[in-house]
Amino acid sequence: MQKLTHTEPSPLLDYQAPAIQTLIAARDWCDLSEYERIGAAYDYVRNEVLFGYNKADNIPASEVLADGYGQCNTKGTLLMALLRALSVPCRVRGLSIHKALQRGVIPELIYRIAPASILHSWVEVYHSGRWINLEGFILDQSYLGQLQKTFGNDNSLCGYGVGTDQLNAPDVDWCGQDTYIQRTGVNQDFGVFETPDEFYAGHQQDFSAWKNMLYKTVFRHWINARVRRIRKGYSPHSLPPHSHGAGIQVQ
């Protein structure tokens, strides 16, 4: 049996795709130290791939890159692909979060029919002889900054895609330590997996067929419109609970 090195490609970790290889070459990431390679890939996924909702969790990294946005699971797939392309060992930890963490960013109409637990994951990178948890890449700083302006006096927030007790200074920057932004919303740990392919083979979001279709074709665009409005400076409090962003260009 082949020994796993946590650097192999997979159908979802398709780091041999031309777009991914072109990105790495254009940024000269291969010339960096391992610490710097991790930081470059992490910062790119965090801030240049905006927070948003793709059509599904189990899409390949090259598709996430093409979309230009993603959430915990899809941005994690892209980060893993970039890390493995840069010869940095990594794996995925499968989890679930309570849907309350998504309240506010998900219109109330959708929130009421959403499952109680939502599939979640973070990336674990092997560096300096230990595994380091990376979750703080999920929200881009422009989006997170607007939430800090609105809710910073409370410092503890579970909603709008955030689950933290230190909103004013969350551990989201790469400095060789664990990073988190949704940790307080976690309600189940499924363990570690070599690839996201392996994780999704055994764990899927609890959607009925018709809810899944509505999510792909309608709901995610409503959600993305709300995210865009918050990022542009609209106060989250100003968004009507049933608003779906009518008239706003969606991602």
Give me the pLDDT at residue 125, please. Answer: 98
- What percent of the chain clears pLDDT 70, i.e. is strictly above it? 91
Evaluate if residue 18 carries a pLDDT over 90: yes
Evaluate if residue 1 carries a pLDDT over 70: no
Give the span between the Cα atoms of 66 and 82, in whole angstroms. Answer: 14
Q: Which of 2-6, 79-83, 97-101, 109-113 has the highest mean pLDDT?
A: 79-83
Mean pLDDT of 144-165: 93
Evaluate if residue 107 carries a pLDDT over 90: no
Give me the pLDDT at residue 238, please. Answer: 61
Give me the pLDDT at residue 61, please. Answer: 98
Banded model confidence at residue 154, pLDDT cuts 50, 70, 90: confident
Which domains are assigned to the chain?
A: 18-231 (3.10.620)
178, 132 contact by CB (below 8 A):
yes
Q: Mean pLDDT in the chain? A: 90
Give me the pLDDT at residue 242, please. Answer: 39
Evaluate if residue 167 carries a pLDDT over 80: yes
- Give the Cα-Cα-Cα angle 29, 35, 40 (nearest 5 degrees): 40
Evaluate if residue 249 carries a pLDDT over 60: no
Helices (H), the chain: 18-27, 34-43, 61-67, 72-85, 108-111, 141-151, 196-202, 209-214, 220-231
Give me the pLDDT at residue 194, please. Answer: 97
Query: How many CA atoms lie less than 13 Å away from 177 in the CB half-sphere?
Result: 6
Give me the pLDDT at residue 219, please. Answer: 86
